[in-house]
Amino acid sequence: MDDDLWTLIEPLLPPWPERSPGPRPVADRLCLQGILYVLHNGIAWQLLPLELGFGSGQTCWRRLERWQQAGVFDRLHRILLAELNAAGELDWPSRARQAGPAPRRSPAPRRPPAPPPWPPHTQRPQSATAGKRRQGRPAPPPARASGRPRDAQPAGKHRPPAPANRYRADG
């Protein structure tokens, strides 16, 4: 950013509070250059390289928000337009024609809502599953021919005894 542009911008920036907590703030000019870098390159704020010296992306984003709330960019826009106009760089009549009102179109016709598939003043048809039990857990498997459940121990076979506790005092 050249010095002429900075001399226009600097007086518009709100002063930094005298007693602000935290580390010393990044210079406004560097912060503005970081903001312009992010916006020009289309990168995320978090990806602003610290090596460039503009401060962190979060610092630049907070400063941008602070300046927007203070109306800095609106005032800068008006000042730049006034300077361009004074220098004869703006062609207002052609700009007005370009930005003039668009030709009016009639709105698209609206379709009436579709009638219901059943006759009016009748009860809505029930769905095929209405009143039936909802599907939840599957039913348990039927008992085997032997009469015992599948996961029961076969007759005559028992589980092995649990191992003795090595940490007991009497063992």
State the angle between helix axes of 28-41 and 57-69 in degrees (0 to 180), rounded to the nearest 10. Answer: 100
The per-residue pLDDT for 31 is: 94
Q: Within a 10 A sphere around the Cβ of 9, how many other Cβ atoms? A: 19
Rg (CA), the chain: 39
DSSP assignment, residue 143?
P
**pLDDT tens column, 112-170:** 777 766 666 666 556 655 555 556 666 666 666 655 555 555 555 666 666 666 666 65
The per-residue pLDDT for 164 is: 64
DSSP assignment, residue 104?
P
The per-residue pLDDT for 110 is: 74
Q: Name the one residue in this structure whose structure tokens are 């911008």.
A: 9
**pLDDT tens column, 62-98:** 999 999 999 999 999 999 999 888 888 887 776 555 6
